[in-house]
Amino acid sequence: MRILGIDPGSETTGWAVLETEGRRHVLVEYGTLKASTRERFSARLLKISNGIEQLITKFHPDVMSIEETFFAVNVKSALKLGQARGVALVAAERAGLEIHEYSARLVKQTVVGYGNAEKHQVQEMVRILLSLPSTPQPHDAADAIAIALCHFHHAGTAQRLLAAEAKINLALAARPNSRRRATK
């Protein structure tokens, strides 16, 4: 499975492409899409959308995982972040990708083991989990890698649960009806 992880931002959007074969994960490439604060906001959104479309065309991911919106103290910042997420979601939907959304807290809990982990802890754990020679920079890209790792972990769990459920349903369907009606 190949996944595109996205850490959306109106100025810097982190991205990462990971590939997995069972329990082994390989970091294909990662980086950021940057937009100048001097540009009109709509032009920045277009840059994000075009950048994600180019990543999808270049890497052919099967899935996109993206960080969910969180409640921010600054409403204006939260709205801008939501719009950046929106263009990323539209780009993935347009490409027909399966989309999964994860909260920042769940990503940190999954990757670091602590939902309130700091940025440098996420970067270091990503380095350790993927056996990288150095911590991925900038933190937006490291966060995108963590979001992709979070999806691998949770998608694998979901697939195992679905497989187990299917196995149980097959066993139940194959079993002869054990209930008998009482006759008087």
pLDDT per residue as tens digits for the range 76-131: 888 888 999 999 999 999 999 999 999 999 999 999 888 888 888 999 999 999 99
Q: What pTM value is reported for the model?
A: 0.82
pLDDT of residue 135: 93
Q: What is the pLDDT of residue 24?
A: 80
In one letter, which amino acid is 146? A
Give CA–CA dist 7/85, Å, rounded: 9
pLDDT band at residue 167, thresholds of 50, 70 and 90?
A: low
Catalytic residues: 7, 67, 140
* Cα dist from 146 to 15, 42, 176, whole Å: 10, 28, 47
In the CATH hierarchy, which fold is given to the domain comprising 2-174?
Nucleotidyltransferase; domain 5 (3.30.420)
Q: Where are the domains of the chain?
A: 2-174
